[in-house]
Amino acid sequence: MKIKQITYIIGISALPFLGCKKELTTTPTTSVPESLIYGTADNIETVLNGTWSYMNDTYFTYANPGYSSILRTSDVMGDDIAIITNKYGYRDAYEYTLANNQTRLGAFWTILYRVINNTNNIISKIDASTGTAEKKRRLKVRLMH
């Protein structure tokens, strides 16, 4: 290698260290403060709608389409439905032999606990949010049903 190339490589390698500040910001730039998320009734309604969508349409794998997968697995484990094993392309998933699989169970727990966490946050923060009393009441009623 030529001296010029070596100098260039060393210079490029040193750039990240030259521009660093003494203190790094560790807060992700994509995170939104809780005070903004739960600050208004409109924002809380967005959280509620997003939670409902997450619960019903979250795919961890092709075999875990949200809450409906939990219901189907429960039916199969209770022998409440008949399984036709030769009709679908994902035999193990449709036979529910993966019911004790960590991926499926982990997905179930993640869905349920994230929904519970979001709902608890809504319940505890709705009264302190800004917005009309009617909208807050309507959101509380939606949580109860």
pLDDT in tens, 116-144: 999 999 999 999 999 999 999 999 999 88
Cα separation of 98 and 82, whole Å? 16
- Looking at every residue in the chain, the average pLDDT score rounds to 78
Torsion sign over Cα 59, 65, 69, 71 = positive
Residue 69 near residue 60, CB atoms below 8 Å: no
Confidence of residue 90 (pLDDT cuts 50, 70, 90): low
Span 10-38, pLDDT tens digits: 666 665 655 555 666 777 777 788 888 99
Question: Residue 84 above 80 pLDDT?
Answer: no
Q: Choose among 59, 62, 56, 57: nearest CA to 88.
A: 62
